Amino acid sequence: MTSNWMIYGANGFSAQLAVEKAVTQGRRPILAGRNAAAIEPLAQAYGLESRIFSLMDVDHVIPHLEDVKVVSHCAGPYSATAEPMMKACIRSGTHYTDITGEIDVFLLAQSLSKEAAASGTLLCPGVGFDVIPTDCVAAKLKEALPDATELNLGFQGDASLSPGTAKTMVEVISQGIQVRKDGQLINVLPSHASRSIDFGKGPVQAGVIPWGDLATAYWQTGIPNISVYTRRSVGRATDLLFPVIQAVMKSATVQRMAKKRIMRRVTGPDEASRANRPMYVWGEARNAKGDSVCCRVKTPNAYTVTMDGILHSAEFLLDYEGAGGCYTPAQLMGAELVERLPGVGQLHLSSDMNARYAKQEEASV
């Protein structure tokens, strides 16, 4: 892999994992970011080129991308950094990927799809654990049940957070919990549609979360009703407290304090921890007649998947000669993409008792 691949925000947790693995494979990405004190020593340690620039002004970014075919954008929170990088990539003809899980960032990329297509630029946000595994599950389920009207996705795993993920969660809490109903994103309480789900290790209690698939799975499949779940227990007390917590977290001062605390205390999981903490990904689709199908896949730790997703998508796009526009990972690289990542099992399709039980519970209410 030649130097027309750039990793921006190369000093981030997942980015550093990708840099280390890339170099061991003989690849030589350009390491970039706004903080010279963090980027330049990293580049020197690996003998790589470095570029220092901020994303405050799109016109300032473009000259740094003119000889770059692919950018792996790893500098979050993407609510602040994605738009200038996407627009600079469109104007410079540079393909764009990132590892966001933020719904609004996916919606931003989708809103820029026609502009990207006109310039021959490809936008593919979410090439990490957010959202490769669930995006591939969604693609498989749509293929198996083309007339599906409801899509539920989710995952279970024991993973400590990186600083970037933890800071993003601070913003997500302030925005509330969402699902997609009849094609529209709506806010719901934490206990909304909570249920028992077997993600792959046996039934556990699960609740909805505001995950990126609410944007990407809808863009890919067109299924109008989508929810994303993870393992967690919720009750009426949580519903009563959540609006208060959400209101507090909307404060810019509180967010700044929380993010500073994260940078002091959160480091991310080490290699041994990642090796022993796999993820279990699940999905189900239902049509109006009540037919259902389920899909499951086991993956390595979320940060390992993200590392390999960065590398795989960059390699794919360095050879890409297709049309521009906004794509989800599965749309771009196929529903079997997740299976091509190291250590990932096969996607397993089956009829699913989860959907039957959920329908019975709805009927009894």
pLDDT at 253: 80
pLDDT tens across the length of the chain (365 residues): 446 999 999 999 999 999 999 999 999 999 999 999 999 999 999 999 999 999 999 999 999 999 999 999 999 889 899 999 999 999 999 999 999 999 999 999 999 999 999 999 999 999 999 999 999 999 999 999 999 999 999 999 876 654 555 555 555 666 678 999 999 999 998 778 789 999 999 999 998 988 999 999 999 999 999 999 998 767 665 656 666 666 665 677 866 776 566 556 656 667 777 778 899 999 999 999 999 999 999 999 999 999 999 999 999 999 999 999 999 999 999 999 999 999 999 999 987 555 444 554 454 44
Alpha-carbon span 72 to 279, nearest angstrom: 23
CB 12 within 8 A of CB 126: no
**Beta bridge pairs of residue 157:** 279
pLDDT at 360: 47
pLDDT at 248: 65
Quick one: tokens of 347? 């996607």
pLDDT at 166: 52
Domains observed in the chain = 5-128+303-333 (3.40.50.720), 132-301+342-364 (3.30.360)
Alpha-carbon span 153 to 136, nearest angstrom: 11
pLDDT at 168: 55
pLDDT at 157: 85
The DSSP 8-state label assigned to residue 323 in this structure reads: -
Residue 172 belongs to what H/E stretch? helix 163-175
Alpha-carbon span 340 to 36, nearest angstrom: 35
pLDDT at 364: 44
The residue to which tokens 């959202």 are assigned? 131
Torsion (CA) 162, 110, 279, 165 in degrees, nearest 10: 10
Alpha-carbon span 185 to 177, nearest angstrom: 10
State pTM to two decimals: 0.88
Nearest to residue 185, comparing CAs of 219, 162, 155, 159? 219
Report DSSP letters for 210-263, one per residue: --THHHHHHHHH--SEEEEEEE----HHHHHHHHHHHHHHT-HHHHHHHHHHHH
